Chain A
Amino acid sequence: MKDSFLYPIVFMLIMVVLFTGILAVMFRFSEEKIRTYEDDTYQKKILSTMVTQIAEATEQSPDEIIAAYPESFEQYVQQLKPDGFERKVYQAVVDSAVVAYCFEIKGNGLWGSMSALVSTSTDFRTILNFAIVNQQETPGLGARIEEDWFLSQFQNIVFVVNPESTEDVTQSYEFISESQKPENDRQLKRVTGATITSDSVIKMLRAEFNYIYDYVRSKEL
């Protein structure tokens, strides 16, 4: 029977249906859990990029605010939908006053696209906090841009130095080796073995801040 013409076709068909079925059932049962986790992670990241400003305005500790998720997210964070602005943008509001903005920005890494959340001061000039949402870089190399020491370099830096410029509003930075100590505030440490990914992060920030400034120069968020 195994040597007949039809047997291999029928056998293969049965195997494909069987395994596709198992995968489909497993995915259906896990889908909700995966989506909930992804949504929670995303919202927690938005909250944490603006948590210092919320904490200062509400006189709470950042840890308390994070621990109070999802109530704290609903209480302080609002999504904005400005006309013609093609990025997701959120604002942190305390007592009807905006204390920070958070943008989802996109760019290209070495192996694929990446996206990040960047929170800014209300004049959009200072980066308050920075977090990677998605990246497809090499684990152990480029993927290390998600490590705290790399991301914390972007905390509280004045990134926009030429707000009136129509060409480039941003500050230029120089990357130094991971083991070196920065000599001034325009030097940032790159991830060892991931020069292109480190450069891509800066490139993404510069392009996106120019895009944001293009918009806010003519319209309000």
Chain B
Amino acid sequence: MTKKDIFINATFKDNSIWRQILGICSALAVTNLMLNSLIMGLGVTFTLIMANMTISLIRNWTPRSVRMMVQVLIIAAYVIIVDIFLKANMPLISKQLGPYVGLIITNCILMGRAEAFASKNKVFDSFVDGVGSGLGYTIVLLGISFVRELFGFGSFFGFKVLGSWWTNWSIMVMAPSAFFLLAMLIWGVNTYYYKVKA
């Protein structure tokens, strides 16, 4: 597989959310504001890239019996690094994300890519996979949050775009709307992109 194929597979064809149904919790939780989604996407992408590369780098020395423990350790370490970095250098963003930075550890995409790709492929390929998977995740988060923020708050990245005539849809701010939107997205992708027949 070429680097381009790896990237396109990770971002679109095997997108973590709409194809593999991974990382759903955060896709439901943080997507009522676009800014939160973007920051979450960047955090996950950084952790994916670093964890993928590290896991790939040590893959030939990692014993099979403890490989998942090693993967969790590496992922957790990078998440804590992100957390410390944000607290020290971008405290406002760190405060805004609150508990979600820590919860990146539990994002299934990280373990999924570590086990399915990074533990079997070269370092640069794993880097490309990490970038693609992170980008695919971020695109979906931003897509869902665009609809939720627009209808729920009448704004785009916090800037009011719908005037005072607009009545905010409270349901869009709450988690159930993310379930509907995500289901509609998966249905749309299956029908029009993968051409899956019912």
* Residues in A lying within 8 Å of B, measured CB to CB: 2-3, 7-8, 11-12, 15-16, 19, 22-23, 26-27, 30, 33-34, 37, 41, 111, 136-141, 143, 177-179, 192-193
The residue in chain A whose Cβ has the minimal distance to the Cβ of B91 is A37
Task: Report the minimum CB–CB distance from B86 to chain A (whole Å).
Answer: 10
Shortest beta-carbon distance from B15 to chain A in Å? 23
Measured CB to CB, the closest approach of chain B to A34, in angstroms, equals 5
Tell me if A140 and B173 are in contact (CB < 8 A): yes
Decide: A12 and B70 in contact? CB cutoff 8 A: yes
B32 at the interface (CB under 8 A from A): yes
Contact A192 to B88, CB < 8 A, known contacts A8-B66, A15-B70, A139-B30:
no
**Chain B residues proximal to chain A, CB less than 8 Å:** 29-30, 32-33, 36, 61-66, 69-70, 73-74, 77, 80-81, 84-85, 87-89, 91, 96-100, 152, 167-168, 170, 173-174
> Are B63 and A23 in contact, CB atoms less than 8 angstroms apart?
no
Given known contacts A11-B62, A143-B98, A192-B173, A30 and B70 CB-to-CB distance under 8 angstroms: no
Please name 9 pairs of A and B residues whose Cβ atoms are closer than 8 Å in the assembled complex, sorted by A.
A2-B63, A2-B64, A16-B73, A37-B91, A139-B100, A140-B29, A179-B168, A192-B168, A193-B174
* Closest 3 pairs (CB-CB, A-B): A30-B88, A19-B77, A8-B63
Q: A139-B100, A192-B168 are in contact. Are A15 and B87 (CB under 8 A)?
A: no
Contact, CB under 8 Å: A141 / B168: no
- B74:A19 contact, CB within 8 angstroms: yes
| A30-B168 CB under 8 A given contacts A139-B30, A139-B36, A139-B96 | no
The answer to whether B32 touches A12, judged by C-beta atoms less than 8 angstroms apart, is: no
In the assembled complex, which residues on chain B have CB atoms less than 8 Å from the CB atom of A11? 61-63, 66, 70
CA–CA, A143 and B97, complex, Å: 10
**CA A108 – CA B81 in complex, angstroms?**
29
Q: Which residues of B contact A8 (CB under 8 A)?
A: 63, 65-66
**B88 near A138: Cβ-Cβ < 8 Å:** no
B66 touches A12 (CB 8 A): yes
**Chain A residue contacts of B84, Cβ below 8 A:** 23, 26-27, 30, 34
CB-defined contacts of B97 to chain A, threshold 8 Å: 139
B44 CB, nearest partner CB in chain A, Å: 15
A21 CA / B186 CA spacing, docked (Å): 42
Task: With CB as the reference atom, state the residue of chain B lying closest to A177.
Answer: B170
Instruction: Tell me the dominant secondary structure on chain B's binding face.
Output: helix
Interface hub of B33, B63, B74, B167 (most chain A Cβ within 10 A): B63
List the A side residues contacting B89 at CB < 8 Å: 33
CB distance from B18 to the nearest CB of A (A): 22
Known contacts A30-B84, A193-B173; is A136 also within 8 Å of B36 by CB?
no
Given contacts A23-B81, A26-B84, A34-B88, A178 and B96 within 8 Å (CB-CB): no
Instruction: Please measure, in the bound complex, the distance between the C-alpha atom of A218 and the C-alpha atom of B39, giving whole angstroms.
Output: 50
With both chains docked as a complex, state the minimum distance between the C-beta of B80 and any C-beta of chain A, in angstroms: 6
B30 near A7 (CB under 8 angstroms)? no
Chain B neighbourhood of A16, CB < 8 A: 73
Which residues of B are found within 8 Å of A179, using beta-carbon distances?
Answer: 167-168, 170
Contacts of B91 in A (CB 8 A): 34, 37, 41
Residues of A within 8 A of B61 (CB): 2, 11
Considering the complex, give the chain A residue whose CB is closest to the CB of B66.
A8
Rounded to whole angstroms, the CA-CA distance of A26 and B63 in the bound complex is 28
Interchain CA distance A204-B65 in the complex, whole Å: 50
Contact B33 A140 (CB under 8 A): yes
B29 touches A138 (CB 8 A): yes
**A178 proximity list for chain B (CB < 8 A):** 168, 170
Closest to A142 in B: B98
Question: In the bound complex, do residue A19 and residue B73 qualify as a contact, i.e. CB atoms below 8 Å apart?
Answer: yes
Q: How far is the CB of A21 from chain B (nearest CB, A)?
A: 10
Q: Which residue of A lies closest to B61 (CB)?
A: A11
List chain B residues, Cβ under 8 A from A2: 61, 63-64
